Amino acid sequence: MYIDYSGGIPDTLLQWLYEEKLFKLFIPEELGGRMLDLPAALRVFQKVSETEGNMGWLTAIGSGGGMFIPNIEKSLAEQLFKDEKAVIAGSGYPNGKARKIDGGYIVSGEWKYCSGSPFASFYTANSQTEEGEIRSFIFMPHQVEIIEDWNALGLRGTGSHTIRVRNALVSDEYTFKLDVPKNEYAGPVHRFPFLPFSQASFMSVCLGITMHFYQEARQIVKRRIKNDDTRFRPVDLLLTEQETIFQQKVDTFYTEIERLWNLHVQGNSLSEKEINQFSKMCKEDLQLVIQGVDTLMRYLGMDAIMETSSLNKIWRDLHTASQHAFITPL
């Protein structure tokens, strides 16, 4: 519960994330990364989220920043990513305004929900130029003001605050476009379509948090039955039923992402139909997963409603993670 109350990740855990290169899962080994394929990375996201939801979310978001590496000038990419503590925070929404000048841009704007903002080594955000073009800009910490406004139901330790820049001078080298490669660091994962990549990443985090929920619920039910609370015997049956349904959804998710990944690495472009079907599956299955968790919550008594309980925190983290626009029912 320390993370909930402090609003951040303890330095010891943050150091562990750095040492395990969990923000560098899609960074080439020559720059200190692990360069995993997508299915392997998703299992890492799930496992870390199963341990602690905030850390899982930050792992997915931080690693996701590595998807930009092929679009950044090579010398700058090496400078930014070689640092053991390299991690990006930022936003894809084009909320900023950029004015062109000789050699660069003057950029101003605010971007919400920038997870990892308190410890990011640099920031990326999209802005619209005076010509109507959307460009991505790299800001260094001294250019960024963090507005500590992340006050959500859960994932309270992710530091998903608003960032603000005011008349920041950004040289041309520190801008990029996502469809323009600038170096040879792109691997298969960088060429995977962005939407299913993002949906799979957030889905795996939610699956990990849900796994943790069922583990915690199982401990509560065991303890109550051991104390001769006969009311919890039917709850034990309901828990087993929900765990089975949940595991089926996990298996289906990984079967489908493996199928899409194999098509991709074999050189096949994913069709719009395949991408839409995967999106639909993620949204519908996550909705069923959350309904199963919420159904069980009604039977877990006071253990479920106290903010100081681990179960309550896990439940809040799940409902917060699942609110990301890419995986909501809309």
Length of the chain: 330
Mean pLDDT of the chain: 96
How far apart are the C-alpha atoms of 66 and 194, rounded to whole Å?
A: 13
The pLDDT tens digits along the chain (330 residues) read: 789 888 899 999 999 999 999 999 999 999 999 999 999 999 999 999 999 999 999 999 999 999 999 999 999 999 999 999 999 999 999 999 999 999 999 999 999 999 999 999 999 999 999 999 999 999 999 999 999 999 999 999 999 999 999 999 999 999 999 889 999 999 999 999 999 999 999 999 999 999 999 999 999 999 999 988 888 899 999 999 999 999 999 999 999 999 999 999 999 999 999 999 999 999 999 999 999 999 999 999 888 899 899 999 999 999 999 999 999 997
Nearest to 84 by CA among 122, 32, 138, 14: 32
The domain segmentation of the chain, as residue ranges, is 2-176, 192-321
**What letter represents residue 48's amino acid?**
V
| 271: three-class secondary structure by DSSP | coil
Is domain 192-321 in CATH 1.10.10.2840, yes or no?
no
Q: Which residue do the tokens 């990029």 mark?
A: 176
Q: Fill in the DSSP letter of residue 197.
A: H
User: 125-157 as b/e, with b when 16 or more CB fall inside 10 Å?
Assistant: bbbebeeeeebbbbbeeebbebeeebeeebbbb
pLDDT digits (tens, 9 = 90+) for 104-132: 999 999 999 999 999 999 999 999 999 99
**What pLDDT, in 10s, does the model give residues 86-101?**
999 999 999 999 999 9
User: Nearest Cα to 42, choosing from 255, 185, 323?
Assistant: 255
Work out the burial of residue 275: count CB atoms within 10 Å of its CB; fewer than 13 is exposed, 13-18 middle, 19 or more buried.
Answer: middle
What's the pLDDT score for residue 120? 98
How many CB atoms lie under 10 A from the CB of residue 91? 21
Task: Let me know if domain 2-176 sits in CATH 2.40.110.10.
Answer: yes
Contact 247, 253 (CB under 8 A): no
Give the pairing of strands 145-147 and 161-171. Answer: antiparallel
Q: Is the dihedral of CA 69, 75, 79, 80 positive or negative?
A: negative
* CB count in 10 Å sphere of residue 123: 24
